[in-house]
Structures are given as structure tokens and as C-alpha cells.
Amino acid sequence: MKLAYKTILYFILSTVPLLIIAFLVTYQLIYAELKDGADEALHIEVHNIKEKIKTDSLNIQPFFMNDNLGYVKLVLSAPYKKRKFDTLIFNAHEKEKIPYRVLDSYFEQNGKFYNIRLYKSIIEIDELAEAIFIAVTVLILSLIILILVINFMLSKKLWKPFYEELETIKAFNLNANLVENAHKPSHNIIEFNLLSSNVIKMKNRIVEQYSAQKQFTENASHELQTPLAIINNQINNLLQSSHLTEKELQSIQVIEQTLKRISNINKSLLLLSKIENRHFTEKTEVNFTKILNIVLAYLNDWAAYKEIEIESKIDSDFLINANTYLIEILLSNLISNAIKHNINGGKINIQSAENKFIISNTGYEPQQDVSQCFNRFTKSSPTDDSPGLGLSIAKSICEAYNIDIGYKFSKIHIIELLK
């Protein structure tokens, strides 16, 4: 949810209940005030009736006075002094019950007790209260809508520099030059100016560190390749010598194997660095099935040597926008891994569907934590002589192209790619 929308949501959740409570309290106060006015009018008329009783100028019978209905009658005693209550009386003309306010009181004059009961129609009060209710409801709703619109427009305007800054961060390219003057704030909000200046500083530090790391990696790889090549040539020259003993030849062969391992590690680390630094920018639609056939063509001999049977089930092509060279490395690493960690006479099953690509193989149960298998220099067993970078490279390639890669062992080893 966007910040502006969340601000509006919190505003609604905090203000609407308060407005509803304020409205209900106001409505009750107005309604009570209108009822007090009706009670006051009844009291005045009761007072007038008492004055007429005192002067014997009142007929003791029901009577109408303005909008009041009432009567006076003689009673034996006064059970209470007075009371007020509401009631409903059926109106034959309106064919409905009309609300009335009732004042029931007793009055003693010359030893006689008079019951004075007056009814005052409060239908106008109810109608007025209803009109007030509707008017206030419309007013509150209009006010809320107006406040929300104003708040949304203000939020959009005030937060515009923030979203502009987000866009500059999204468009940030590590391969670009320093961005010291690339983005000048066009607003006068102190907090956003601080954000912009600090983002620029952060970008510059990232670019500097990235450039330094990139330069170091390239230089280190280049500098290592030269002495490795020289050592390899010298070893080859030594192997040509006829004066070496068998023991010396074995030692040189060990050195040669170790040198090749160092060279492979160097190449793998350089490749990892290039993948993570997005050096492979060229993309095209890659069909995993076609790349798979290319990879199997030069790995079949190794699989045949270990008597491993490779089966493919292609339900549909697994297509993705990526660099062809990297996908070839990805599949090569995964299938090589499946052959290397397989058993003689084992099997490899490859399944391809529109949204997933699965490579499963027989093999021994892993001796290491399977959750760490994609980490660098992680080996399947302590005796494994591989550098442990194949799955790390596969993981980096998948991350570069938003492919989910997972591994599990359930009697067989299973690598699953999902897009």
C-alpha cells in the first residue's frame, strides 16, 4: 500500500469514529433541548389551568388549546405530584400514531384534588430531529470526502519529491559514472533535501566501491593467470625431461593437478564476480531444451564412462530471456554435478515444462547440510576434491534472471528451477 493511501486510511480510522460520536452527542443534546422546550410550554399551560381553577372559570372536561390535548378531573387523592413521559396516540386523520409529550400533575384547591393531564404533540420535534440528523449526516460525509480529497492532493504534492527520489534509485546503474550532479532537488522541503543529498552520497560510494572491486577482480584474475600459465609451461617442460625419476614425475603430476585446480578456482571466481556485477548484459529468448542438447553432446561420454543412463521428458519448452552463454554454463554445471555425484550405473532424469525445469539423479545421501549447498566452497563430502563453486555459479545465474532454484534429497537428488 502506498504511503499516501495508508495516511488516508489512518486518517479515516481515527477521525470517522470521533465524528460519529460527536454527531450522536450533538443530536442527543439538540433533541433534549427541543424536549425541554416542549416541557416548558406544558408547564406554562398547566400554570394557566391552575389559575383558572382558582377562579372557577374552567370546565372540567377534555379540551384543546393550540396543539395541546388535555383534561382536568376531580380525584380522591394525589398519588404523586407530577410526572413527564412520552406516548403515542392514534390519529384517525393521519391514520398513524403520533408521538406526544405528556405532563401529568395534581393540584389541590379548597380540599379538592384535581388531576391535570396535558398532551403536546412532538411530531415537529421528531421531524426537526430527523431533518437535523439528515443534514448533519450529509454535512459530515461531505466534510469527510472533502478532507480526503484535499488530504490526497496535498499528500501527492508533498510526497512527490520522495517518489521522484525513488525513481532515481530505481534507475540507478552501477556502471554509470559518479552521480554528484546528476540529480538536483527541485523542492524546498528540508527533509527531502537531506534525503536527496544523502542518496547521492550513497550512490557515489557504491559506484566507487563497485569500480574498485571490479578493477581489483579483473587485475587479480589477470595477474594470477600469467604466473599460472608460466608455471604450467615450466611443468610441461619438466615433464619432457628424461632425467626425472618416477617419484619426481609423480610429484610434478600432483603439482600440475593442483595448478589446474587453482586455475579453475580463479576462473570460477572471476565468472561469479562478472555474473554478480551484471557484466553479461546481452539477452535473448533462450530455449533450455536446445541448450540441454548442446550440453549433453559433450557430457555424454563422461556419463557413458560411468554407465549412467540419462532420460529426458520434455512436456513443453522452458523459455526465458537471458544470456545464452550463462544458461549453457548453468545447465553444464547442474548436469556435471549430477554425473559427478552419481553412482556407477545410476540414472539422471531431466524434465522440462513451461514453468519448471527439473534435474534429478541417483547418488549417495549428502553428508553435509543441504541448506548450504549453494554457498561458495561448500562440498558434498569432506573428501570431495572439487572447489565447491559449481552450484554457487548456478545460483548466481538464476538470481540474475529471477529463476528460483532449489535442492532437496528424497532418496534421489533433485534440483528444481522455477520461473
Terminal CA-CA length for the chain: 25
For the sheet containing 68-75, what is the strand order?
Answer: 63-65, 68-75, 112-121, 96-109, 82-91
pLDDT tens, residue by residue, 256-300? 777 777 777 777 777 777 777 667 778 889 999 899 999 998 899
**Strands 309-314 and 347-352: what pairing?**
parallel
Q: Under CATH, what is the fold of the domain 284-418?
A: Heat Shock Protein 90 (3.30.565)
**Strands 284-287 and 309-314: what pairing?**
unpaired
Question: Which of 391, 419, 415, 390 shows the shortest CA–CA distance to 404?
Answer: 419
CB atoms within 10 A of CB 56: 8
- What local confidence, expressed as pLDDT, does residue 152 receive? 78
Question: Which of 365, 354, 362, 360 shows the shortest CA–CA distance to 407?
Answer: 360
pLDDT tens, residue by residue, 170-229? 777 666 555 554 455 556 777 778 888 888 888 788 777 777 777 776 676 667 777 777
> Could you give the CA distance from residue 296 to residue 310 in angstroms, rounded to a whole number?
9
Distances (CA, A) of 271 to 156, 260, 361: 45, 16, 26
Task: For the chain of 419 residues, list the mean pLDDT of each consecutive stretch of 10.
Answer: 71 79 80 82 84 71 57 82 85 78 86 85 73 79 82 78 80 62 60 81 79 71 73 79 77 80 74 72 87 90 91 89 90 91 92 91 80 69 61 87 89 90
> Could you give the CA distance from residue 29 to residue 62 in angstroms, rounded to a whole number?
33
- What local confidence, expressed as pLDDT, does residue 242 receive? 73
- What local confidence, expressed as pLDDT, does residue 359 receive? 93
- What local confidence, expressed as pLDDT, does residue 6 receive? 74
Q: Considering Cα of 202, then 205, then 209, then 210, what sign does the dihedral take?
A: positive
Question: Which of 354, 295, 292 shows the shortest CA–CA distance to 320?
Answer: 354
Radius of gyration in angstroms for the set of CA atoms belonging to the chain, rounded to a whole number: 46
CB atoms within 10 A of CB 319: 13
pLDDT tens, residue by residue, 321-335? 988 988 998 999 899
Q: What are phi and psi of 191, to 5 degrees?
A: -60, -40
Per-domain residue ranges for the chain? 3-155, 166-279, 284-418
- What local confidence, expressed as pLDDT, does residue 1 receive? 64
